Amino acid sequence: MKQLVETIVKPLVDFPEDVRVDVVEDDSRVTYQLFVNKTDMGKVIGKQGRVAKAIRTVVYAAGSSQQKKIFLEIGE
């Protein structure tokens, strides 16, 4: 899943080397924390959050077979 997020995000940004995905896992959920360069935040979020929503939709669909709830957080 971590690789999926990186594969989706890296072509969108100007600084793909700054893309980092951390995984925080507990009993009932898995949180993927996506970090990008500050100047790339707008590209990852998109107008009215459309790109971020699309990324989340793909990640949630890919993780629907898991027993845990999946979350994607975007930060800098």
Band (pLDDT 50/70/90 cuts) for residue 65 is confident
Q: Which amino acid is at 13?
A: V
pLDDT digits (tens, 9 = 90+) for 20-30: 999 999 989 99
Per DSSP, the residues of 11-74 read: GGSS-GGG-EEEEEE-SSEEEEEEE--GGGHHHHH-GGGHHHHHHHHHHHHHTTTSSSEEEEEE
Phi-psi region of 35 (alpha: psi -120 to 50; beta: other; left: phi over 0): beta
pLDDT at 39 over 90: yes
Question: Can you read off the two tokens belonging to residue 3?
Answer: 């690789």
